[in-house]
Chain A
């Protein structure tokens, strides 16, 4: 409750007062999480930084241009923008490469080349991340939002624009697929 009130006051300062200090607070509070979310999706440091920077700039524009909009969650808004930016990023890259491949295919190809090239993580985590990257974008998204960013089904539903039931089903299928992939990797 206290957090919600703080968020509301922060939102008021940003939306109404256009207070840069307030926005700086918001930036400090969420930049790492947004960066992580983007990085896990794009798997490239430079791209993740660019997208994250753009997320905060777009969020500022959205908040100050839509004063009368009721924003229930600032965090949810940032993730929604980040998700859309990632989708836009893949779409633009796909166009640049002039390949007639869908986003999922492109992501998988890219991940094979750049995956965690700058990341030094444990063996187990590295394997898990590698398997996640092989999942469909839809599955990756719900898994990351649910287990790493710790959003509720309702919040994921708001970020992705899907119904809660659809989110639950997707999550269930994603976990099932992940399990299968991990088991097949163990066997091999």
Chain B
């Protein structure tokens, strides 16, 4: 019954005859309506109103927050991009440096997830190189040594990360291992060259800092050797196929040569720096000695001389020098080019043996030997430099109340920052 009623109700609609309006009335009413509405003043809507008209009210309600969000997002992205671009030139300690580091880390993390560990390793190598350039720039700008040290620590950590990433990739794809190690070694060579450049400047680097830089060089070199040792182990274990033997050999040779060169360079640079420091002291001592009227200390350095120094030939053991006595001054001779090349001689000598081992195919042994040499270098005792008297006579300085000097040579020894000066081979003349 209900459906029937519904059908009947729907049919009512089609009874045109009964419910349709009179056509004449429709037309007449339309004319009247048009006359009335045409008399109304027309208004022009603004472009904004027109836009609002076609945007649904619900969307219009959300339009403002959405637009705000979009603008904020755009500004954030643009602002971030601008900050990142501006931060590329920043150095540790700068305001934008953290932006640079954050951008770098994001890039590395993104590469690790999306582009794969090979790309990550490449980016880590680049980051390590950047740290080296930063350290060099910091030193050139005479920035705080603490910042340089932090940068070098970061550098070492980044190199280690790069090595580990290369190792991870190698475990998954052993065939790509030689290539990755070669890239790491190449990057590390660039780092070492950059660090080596630090010593080529005109300024003398503080001895502690110089040693820290050399330590970083050795650490970085050690990472290259470590990476090379890993691929050699892989090859010996048969993970890397025989077809890549030559490639591995080539990589190992390259690593050994680079390591030897870098270690040698570092040692030379360190010595050169020490010599330069000593030369500065000599210059200072000479200029001070020139002032005849005023008795002053023989060598003026920022480092106070030790109150007691080792006895030289002029002073007998047990004998106490009186203040009025002329105190002999010990001055270290600057190193000649021959002396410098002779210092890392041990490692150069070892290199020949090592390369012979490589040629014989004993890669593992060769690398172990290089690693040992590197270790030797690291733990090497301070190099002993022969000491000769300086040509310019130095006026003896009566000890002051604050800095009593007993014996001779204290100032020079103290100023070299830990370099032992052998005064026994050549007796120093005493200044009367």
Contacts and interface: CB of A to CB of B under 8 A. Distances in A.
Interface residues of A, number: 48
B21 interface: yes
Given A125-B11, A128-B9, A32 B33 contact: no
Interface string B120-137: 000000000000000000
Interface string A47-60: 01100110011001
A91 B45 CA distance: 38
Given A16-B50, A31-B21, A148 B26 contact: no
B15 A32 contact: no
Given A24-B34, A60-B37, A49 B25 contact: yes
Given A57-B36, A60-B33, A119-B18, A68 B9 contact: no
Nearest to B6: A147
A148 B13 CA distance: 5
Nearest to B59: A70
Interface in B38-80: 38, 40, 42-43, 45, 49-50, 52-54, 56-57, 60
Given A20-B38, A60-B37, A119 B5 contact: no
Taking each of B11, B21, B49, which has the highest tally of chain A beta carbons within 10 Å of its own beta carbon?
B21
A23 B38 CA distance: 10
A125 to B, nearest CB: 6
Nearest to A128: B8
A49 B52 contact: no
Interface in B11-37: 11-13, 15, 17-22, 25-26, 29-30, 32-34, 36-37
B1 A12 contact: no
Contacts of A162: none
Contact of A124 (B8, B26, B45): B8
Contacts of A32: 20-21, 26
Contact of A179 (B2, B13, B36, B53): B2
B15 A67 contact: no
Nearest to B42: A18
Interface in A91-133: 116, 119-122, 124-125, 128-129
Contact of B2 (A60, A64, A122, A175): A175
Nearest to A146: B9
B8 A17 contact: no
B146 interface: no
B257 to A, nearest CB: 75
A56 B19 contact: no
B49 to A, nearest CB: 7
A148 B38 contact: no
A49 B21 CA distance: 8
Contacts of A138: none
Contacts of A148: 9-10, 12-13
A152 to B, nearest CB: 15
Given A36-B19, A40-B19, A18 B43 contact: yes
A50 to B, nearest CB: 10
A17 to B, nearest CB: 7
Q: Per DSSP, are chain A's interface residues mostly helix, strand or loop, or mixed? A: helix
B18 A68 contact: no
A8 B15 CA distance: 30
B8 A143 contact: no
B18 A121 contact: yes
B54 A8 contact: yes
A31 B80 CA distance: 61
Given A148-B10, A178-B5, A182-B5, A16 B49 contact: yes
A187 interface: no
Interface in B345-401: none
Taking each of B19, B30, B33, B52, which has the highest tally of chain A beta carbons within 10 Å of its own beta carbon?
B19
Interface in A161-184: 175, 178-179, 182-183
Contacts of A20: 34, 37-38
A129 to B, nearest CB: 7
A36 B26 CA distance: 13
A35 interface: yes
Contacts of B21: 31-32, 35-36, 39, 48-49, 52
A88 interface: no
A18 B44 CA distance: 9
Interface string B174-218: 000000000000000000000000000000000000000000000
A64 B39 CA distance: 13
A119 B50 CA distance: 46
B400 to A, nearest CB: 93
A18 B1 CA distance: 49
A99 B26 CA distance: 33
Contact of B1 (A125, A128, A183): A183
Contacts of B30: 24, 27-28, 31
Nearest to A28: B30
Interface in A133-157: 143, 147-150
Contacts of A125: 8, 11-12, 15, 18
A20 B45 CA distance: 16
Given A35-B19, A121-B17, A179-B5, A70 B56 contact: yes
Interface of A: 8, 12, 15-18, 20, 23-24, 27-28, 31-32, 35-36, 39-40, 45, 48-49, 52-53, 56-57, 60, 64, 67-68, 70, 116, 119-122, 124-125, 128-129, 143, 147-150, 175, 178-179, 182-183
8 contacts: A12-B50, A35-B19, A36-B13, A40-B19, A68-B49, A119-B17, A119-B18, A148-B13
3 closest residue pairs by CB, A with B: A70-B57, A147-B9, A35-B21
